Amino acid sequence: MALFLSSAAIQHLTSLGKENLLRVQVKSGGCAGLQYVFSIETSKKDNDVVIEDQGAIVIVDPLSLHFIDGSTVHYHNELMMSYFTLENPKATAGCGCGTSFSVD
């Protein structure tokens, strides 16, 4: 199983320091049934899968990884906000506002 990081995501995460980990979760909700949740945490749970790329660290629980395997984490820094997104090849549909997705 794999999760990839864009260069912008790597740059942002490494700027936060090794003590800050990006957690990527998939939870039920939204119009399409599933949604991504991103959070910065300082510790991992026992069953977390740890993905490290050039000093950037992402943690994912095994169930969430099942839904996002093969995805790429992107980081966007815009004038009014900055945020993470996920490019997920397993997503078969999404809602109009872009906050949720579904898989077959």
CATH number of the domain encompassing residue 28 = 2.60.300.12
Backbone angles phi, psi at 16, to 5 degrees: -80, -15
Structural domains of the chain, count: 1
From first to last of the 104 residues of the chain, give the pLDDT tens digit: 789 999 999 999 999 999 999 999 999 887 778 899 999 999 999 999 999 999 999 999 999 999 999 999 999 999 999 999 999 998 888 776 667 888 87
* Beta pairing partners, 82: 77
Q: For residue 73, which of 29, 31, 25 has the smallest C-alpha distance? A: 25
Q: What does the block give as tokens for 18?
A: 């090794």
Q: What's the gap between Cα 30 and its chain centre? A: 17
In the chain, where does DSSP find H-type helix? 7-16, 62-68
| Structural domain for 75, as ranges | 3-102
